Amino acid sequence: MADWQVVAGGITAPRGYQAAGIAAGLKPSGSKDLALIVSDVEAIAAGVFTISQVRAACVDYCRQRLQAKNSARAILCNAGQANAATGEQGMRDALKSAELLAKELNIPAESILLASTGVIGQRIKMDAMSNGIPKLVAALSQNGSDEAAGAIITTDLVKKSIALETTFGDRPVRIGGIGKGSGMIHPNMATMLAFVTCDAAVSPSLWQQMLSRAGDRSFNSITVDGDTSTNDSLIALANGQSRTPAITESGYEADKLEAMLTEVCQHLAKAIARDGEGATCLIEVQVTGAANEQGARQIAKTIAGSSLVKSAIFGRDPNWGRIAAAAGRAGVHFEQENLRIQLGDFLLMENGQPQVFDRAAASTYLKNIAQGSSLPTNAVATNMSNDLSIDRNTTMTQRVDNPLIIAVNIGNGHASGKAWGCDLSYDYVKINAEYTT
């Protein structure tokens, strides 16, 4: 299935897309803060949004738009103000932003989707938005992915971007994506955003189903600190510009497209988890032997989200007891007599009982993983501003490609699931406690 390759170009790698990112004066720091993705033609649009009861105006706006019409031409994203907990005025600001962009692009406002990230309770600076939109449209480019990726981030240490290419028949089909999110260095700036572009032709309902599943297997399977944002949004466009036959039902092509979409989402999700505040390594939890995929994922996510497991990993401690305890409380039935736990190549527990293993070697494995995926951690503490224009895409890929593996089998079936997280370091607390509003 995985007969694709990584290509350059991010969200502008697929045919028929342009993107831009500019500094419009929304962030106090003056760095890039307004991003735009435009499809040459009306594209099939699907979305997955936060299920929080406390939501940003843009989330309600997108839900309404997509309910009325499952296609779009453009995605506008501002960073700096979350436009959440801003009441009716927040919705008016969202509608106004869409109208301003529609006029500039000369398309209907109904074809525009919106996303915001920044401080909860702050309205979008509409003057800056109004002045920025013409410049943003003027900056649109077929090579604009990197600028857009840089304009949606807030406290992220690195930009997050990927593009994959496969062939349908003999024609190339591409999916690109950009994302943002890194836990919450700044108070109330929790947002996880991802925008995916695709040039395949696919039916709206199929595209939405694919995205919902891919979202479950990626963004809904990562955990930095268990907190969910008011603004979380995943939006995917498919514009058919690859000129490949339309995919309208399940089958080989649909499976292949969904697998590639899932891979794009997983890459971005892992990059977000790895970029968790103060994190020193990416943790991948693989659960097998479950009765169903959802249960497997539930256990994986509980382990990846356990403060005790995360602290142990930071301390390079092969602590099977904490992994077993987290698995046991995930709310999924299994017999403890069947529990099997592996850390990398080390078998820590089998048939529910601890195994003799080389503790020093296992600890060395943990240390090596962290070093192999090391990053300038000092940057975490010092980069407290919104101003991060550094591009470490290459480093990011290396870091994501070498996660620490926790493998758990619960001996209760044949389904499997994965989740990703990061370790819990002093810096997480430092970052979140010392920043006072």
Strand, helix or coil for residue 354? strand
Phi, psi of 116 (to 5 degrees): -135, 150
Q: Can you tell me which of 16, 305, 403, 417 binds its own copies, judged by CB under 8 A?
A: 305
Alpha-carbon span 427 to 9, nearest angstrom:
33
Q: What pairing do the DSSP bridges indicate for beta strands 282-290 and 404-409?
A: parallel
Of 314, 346, 365, 420, which lies in the binding site for its own copies, with binding defined by CB under 8 A? 314
Closest CA to 42 of 16, 19, 21: 16
Establish if 413 lies at the interface with its own copies (CB under 8 A). Answer: no
Task: Give yes or no for residue 187 binding its own copies (CB under 8 A).
Answer: yes
For the chain, count helices (H), then strands (E).
13, 16
Which of 178, 339, 380, 408 contacts its own copies by CB under 8 A? 339
Q: Binders of its own copies among 129-168, rule CB under 8 A?
A: none
Q: Which is nearer to its own copies, 159 or 340 (CB)?
A: 340
Q: From 285, 351, 258, 271, select the one nearest 46 (Cα to Cα).
A: 258
Query: Per CB under 8 A, does 402 bind its own copies?
Result: no
Q: Among 22-30, 207-215, 319-327, 382-390, which window interacts with its own copies (CB under 8 A)?
A: 319-327
Identify the CA nearest to 181 among candidates 143, 223, 215, 216. Answer: 223
The smaller minimum CB distance to its own copies, of residues 252 and 426, is found at 426
Count of residues engaged in binding its own copies, rule: CB under 8 A = 70
Exposed, middle or buried by CB within 10 Å (0-12, 13-18, 19+), for 37?
A: buried
Contacting residue, 11, 178, 210, 327, with its own copies by CB under 8 A:
327
In the complex, what is the shortest distance from the CB of residue 383 to its own copies, in angstroms, rounded to a whole number?
18
Q: What are phi and psi of 167, to 5 degrees?
A: -125, 140
Stretch that binds its own copies, among 34-42, 159-167, 257-265, 335-343 (CB under 8 A): 335-343
193-198/233-238 β-pairing: parallel
- Does 22 bind its own copies (CB under 8 A)? Our answer is no
CB 424, min distance to its own copies, A: 6
248 is catalytic: no
Is 230 a binding residue for its own copies by CB under 8 A? The answer is yes
Is residue 428 a contact residue for its own copies (CB under 8 A)? yes
CB of 331 to its own copies, least distance (A): 8
Within 113-132, the residues that bind its own copies by CB under 8 A are 119-121
Instruction: State yes or no: residue 326 binds its own copies (CB under 8 A).
Output: yes
Alpha helices in 38-157 (DSSP H): 57-68, 87-105, 126-138, 145-151
Q: Which residues contact 264 (CB under 8 A, 6 or more apart)?
A: 162, 163, 164, 175, 176, 177, 196, 214
> Which residues, other chains included, contact 381 with Cβ-Cβ below 8 Å and sequence gap of 6+?
427, 430, 431
Q: Which positions touch its own copies (CB under 8 A)?
A: 50-55, 85-87, 119-121, 184, 187-188, 190, 225-230, 305-308, 311-312, 314-322, 324-330, 332-337, 339, 349, 351-354, 359, 363, 424-426, 428-430, 432-437
